[in-house]
Amino acid sequence: MSRSKNLAVRYLAAAVLFFGVMTLSGLMSAIYYINPDFLFGLLHFSVAKMLHIDTMIIWLLMGFMGAVYWFLPEEFGREPAGIWAAELLFWIFVAAVLVVAAIFVFVQWGPGTETTLWLVQQGRKYVEAPRWAAIGVALVMLVFAWNVVGTAVAARRVTGVMAVMSVNMVPLVLLYLIAFPKIDNMAVDLYWWWWLVHLWVEATWEILIGCIMALAMMKLLGTSRQIVEGWLYIEVAMVLGTGILGLGHHYFWIGTPDYWLGIGGFFSALEPLPLLGMVVHAVYDAGVHRMQTTNRPAFYWTLAEAFGNFLGGGMFGFMITLPQLNLFAHGTQWTVSHGHFAFWGAYACGVLSVCYIALQEQRGLARVNGSGWVWAFVLLNTGLIGMVGSLLVAGMAQAFFERAIGGSTLEAFIAGQENPWFMLGMYSRFGFGLMFGAGYVVLAFNLLGLGRREAAVAMKPLPAE
Amino acid sequence: MGPDVFLLTSLSLGFMVLSAGAYALLYGAARLKESRGLLLLARLAYATLALDAAGLVLATPLALAWKLLIAASALAYLGIPPVTWRFLEHTHRHEGAHT
């Protein structure tokens, strides 16, 4: 295997490892809601939550990078430019994530000084990592961009998918720089912070996963380049058309001018439209190929991506995106429900699909099948749907009792938190979280052991006749 | 907007997109299997969507601009599955002609 593919497997393995950390810290965060005394004095809820959302960003980012390093040599017929730097940075990246996680758990916070910003944490959700680590992430992104763009330049040719990916590297690197400034005015800080969170996630990441899934579809189903590139261009147009100004839905109620209510509501409401086309495409592919492929887990995870994105991003988002309704639902567990489902559908399923594609080739498997992946698929998806359903119930209770009836007073907040429907949602979320956790364990074992049993059987000497 | 109306409006919006998904799924399945029964079910799913959208436009206190957006979205949902399907068939036919 090429150096790039070896690096890809390392990145995908690290992604699955941090997926586990995310799941564990998510389960811990869920416990605080049903037992507020949990780890009292040892680990605050905010730290567990920080670990949960930061490792979510990291594992998906590593998954994307692994996927890109996997497909790069196939696209250009050569090793990526600067592969040595990428190989070196991989270990530094993993070590830095582990050190930051240790700082979060054991140091947790510090006084409001520059030293804290540099060494402990920056205190901005999703990008809490201390500055030294944030500089490291920026460096990793820069080398990643060099690997992609530099390879195209060195190969003196570029495919449509790689052209889109190369252009996408510019905002991917630049937008991350918003993680650095320290802005004292909270409204101004949030205004720019959402550029990083929303535009990274709903613009550059959408395009990146679109490119990755385009390459995966060619590999998995043998779909022609012309078709996947045609769809990719449509997706890019849709993302640019709806996703960028959809940013406005995060600008509700944070001190921005009123016109953002109209802009955010309008463009967010358009976001489900392209996702409907994706559902039709998934049905077409599944039907034309009669669900037959040499890699069933990868194919099923691809289908889960299409449907999960539609339901999590489209349906769950549309319920709360119009400003008149968002006024009540903003920042409740309803939003959390939408966030979990949308991230799972839009990104996680795609990364898991690529994991199976890479392992099939790495382990020389003619077919990938068995029952392990089915258990993982069912447990993870049922657990996730159960979790988001529970969060939806809890969020509706909050929006109804605390906001719409109680008028968002402190008393109403407490009443909302103690409401039986809210508590039912929290208990139920934890139960389904355990199911999701069990799914993760099965997935990890399945990925580790994929093809090993077949190889062991093949290597076993035949009995003498 | 009162608490009950808020919850009902929000659920109706979610149901509208869910119906659109059901319509797309059934439409695709109907075209694949060339089944009139499935096509009828797809139309029923769209009818549910249209009724839901009509309810949102006529019976909720949403601002006029959002009602217009909901009506326009309901119409767009009607066209997306057939247009996408035709595009898919066209590109795959085109691919076949080249191979």
CA B96 to chain centre: 30
Q: Contacts for A139-144 with beta carbons within 8 Å, 24 or more apart?
A: A139/A89, A140/A89, A140/A92, A140/A93, A141/A172, A141/A173, A141/A176, A142/A173, A143/A82, A143/A85, A143/A86, A143/A89, A144/A65, A144/A68, A144/A86, A144/A169, A144/A172
CB contact under 8 A, B84 and A280: yes
Q: Count the alpha carbons within 13 Å of A242 in the hemisphere toward its beta carbon.
A: 20
Are the beta carbons of A302 and A220 closer than 8 angstroms? yes
Residue A182 has pLDDT above 90, yes or no: no
pLDDT-derived band of residue A231, with 50, 70 and 90 as boundaries?
Answer: confident
Cα angle A135-A136-A137, degrees, rounded to a multiple of 5: 90
Q: Which residue has the tokens 């008149």?
A: A324
Helix ranges restricted to H, A330-406: 333-343, 349-362, 372-397
What number is the average pLDDT over the span B78-88? Answer: 92
Residue among A245, A308, A307 nearest A271 (CA): A245
Spatial separation of the C-alpha atoms in residues A94 and A343, rounded to whole Å: 22
What number is the average pLDDT over the span A236-261? Answer: 87
Considering only the beta carbons, identify the residue of B21, B69, B88 that sits closest to A269.
Answer: B69
Q: CA dist A416 to A43, A326, A394, A423, B8, Å?
A: 25, 17, 9, 9, 19
Q: Contacts for A135-141 with beta carbons within 8 Å, 24 or more apart?
A: A136/A92, A136/A93, A136/A96, A137/A93, A137/A96, A137/A176, A137/A179, A138/A173, A138/A176, A138/A177, A138/A179, A139/A89, A140/A89, A140/A92, A140/A93, A141/A172, A141/A173, A141/A176
Q: CA dist A377 to A16, A346, A381, Å?
A: 15, 16, 6
What number is the average pLDDT over the span A93-114? Answer: 92
> How far away is chain B from the Cα of A443, in angstroms, using its nearest Cα?
28
Residue A325 has pLDDT above 70, yes or no: yes
pLDDT-derived band of residue B93, with 50, 70 and 90 as boundaries?
Answer: confident
Q: Say whether A387 sits in a helix, a strand or coil.
A: helix
Work out the mean pLDDT of chain A and round it to a whole number. Answer: 91
Q: Quote the pLDDT of residue B99.
A: 42
Q: CB contacts < 8 Å between A and B, how many? A: 114
Q: Which residues pair with A153 in a beta bridge?
A: none
Q: Which residue has the tokens 């498997």?
A: A365
Q: CA dist A240 to A138, A228, A307, A358, Å?
A: 24, 18, 21, 30
Q: Quote the pLDDT of residue A39.
A: 93
What number is the average pLDDT over the span A9-37? Answer: 96
Spatial separation of the C-alpha atoms in residues A356 and A354, rounded to whole Å: 5
Spatial separation of the C-alpha atoms in residues B80 and B24, rounded to whole Å: 8
Which site among A249, A267, A279, A291 would you substitute to test the B interface, given the most B Cβ atoms closer than 10 Å to its Cβ? Answer: A279
> How far away is chain B from the Cα of A196, in angstroms, using its nearest Cα?
28
Count Cβ atoms below 10 Å from residue A304 Cβ, excluding itself: 22
Q: Is the backbone of residue A156 left (phi > 0), alpha (psi -120 to 50) or beta?
A: left
Q: Is the backbone of residue A451 left (phi > 0), alpha (psi -120 to 50) or beta?
A: left
Extents of the domains making up chain B: 3-93
pLDDT digits (tens, 9 = 90+) for A139-175: 999 999 999 999 999 998 888 999 999 999 999 999 9
pLDDT digits (tens, 9 = 90+) for A60-83: 999 999 999 999 999 998 999 999
Give Cβ neighbours of residue B1 (< 8 Å, ≥ 6 apart).
Answer: A324, A325, A404, B9, B61
Residue among B9, B43, B51 nearest B26 (CA): B43
Window B:54-73, CB contacts with A under 8 Å: 61-63, 65-66, 69-70, 73
Helix ranges restricted to H, A398-419: 410-418
pLDDT digits (tens, 9 = 90+) for B13-66: 999 999 999 999 999 999 999 999 999 999 999 999 999 999 999 999 999 999
Which site among B10, B34, B35, B62 would you substitute to test the A interface, given the most A Cβ atoms closer than 10 Å to its Cβ? Answer: B10
ipTM: 0.92
Assigned token pair, A68: 């890109």
Range with the lowest mean pLDDT among A163-177, A280-294, A373-387? Answer: A280-294
pLDDT-derived band of residue B98, with 50, 70 and 90 as boundaries?
Answer: very low
Range with the lowest mean pLDDT among A189-203, A284-298, A305-319? Answer: A284-298
Q: Quote the pLDDT of residue A465.
A: 46
Considering only the beta carbons, identify the residue of B10, B18, B80 that sits closest to A325.
Answer: B10
Give percent above pLDDT 70 in chain A: 97
Of A105-119, A215-229, A343-357, A446-460, the range with the highest mean pLDDT is A343-357
**B30 touching chain A per CB within 8 A:** no
Are the beta carbons of A119 and A110 closer than 8 angstroms? yes
Could you please report the per-residue DSSP string of A162-188?
HHHHHHHHHHHHHHHGGGS---SSHHH
What number is the average pLDDT over the span A201-226? Answer: 87
Q: Quote the pLDDT of residue A271.
A: 84
Domains of chain A (ranges plus CATH)?
Answer: 1-182 (1.20.210.10), 208-457 (1.20.210.10)
Residue A241 has pLDDT above 90, yes or no: no
Q: Quote the pLDDT of residue B95.
A: 63
Q: CA dist A19 to A61, A388, B15, Å?
A: 11, 18, 32
- Dihedral angle at the C-alpha atoms of A379, A385, A390, A394, nearest 10 degrees? 150
Sign, CA torsion A37/A46/A26/A269: positive
Give Cβ neighbours of residue A76 (< 8 Å, ≥ 6 apart).
Answer: A151, A152, A154, A155, A157, A162
**A288 touching chain B per CB within 8 A:** yes
Give Cβ neighbours of residue A415 (< 8 Å, ≥ 6 apart).
Answer: A401, A402, A406
Assigned token pair, A154: 């060195």
**A415 touching chain B per CB within 8 A:** no
Q: Quote the pLDDT of residue A339.
A: 94
Spatial separation of the C-alpha atoms in residues A309 and A212, rounded to whole Å: 15
pLDDT digits (tens, 9 = 90+) for A340-354: 999 999 999 999 999
Q: CA dist A217 to A231, A300, A368, Å?
A: 11, 12, 16
Assigned token pair, A419: 């409401």
Which site among A318, A396, A401 would you substitute to test the B interface, given the most B Cβ atoms closer than 10 Å to its Cβ? Answer: A318
Spatial separation of the C-alpha atoms in residues A334 and A328, rounded to whole Å: 10
Q: Which residues of B touch A268 (CB under 8 A)?
A: none
CB contact under 8 A, B17 and A318: yes
pTM beyond cutoff 0.90: yes
pLDDT-derived band of residue A460, with 50, 70 and 90 as boundaries?
Answer: low
pLDDT-derived band of residue A239, with 50, 70 and 90 as boundaries?
Answer: confident
Sign, CA torsion A315/A318/A320/A321: positive
Give Cβ neighbours of residue A45 (< 8 Å, ≥ 6 apart).
Answer: A29, A32
Residue A371 has pLDDT above 80, yes or no: yes
Residue A87 has φ and ψ, to the nearest 5°, of -65, -40
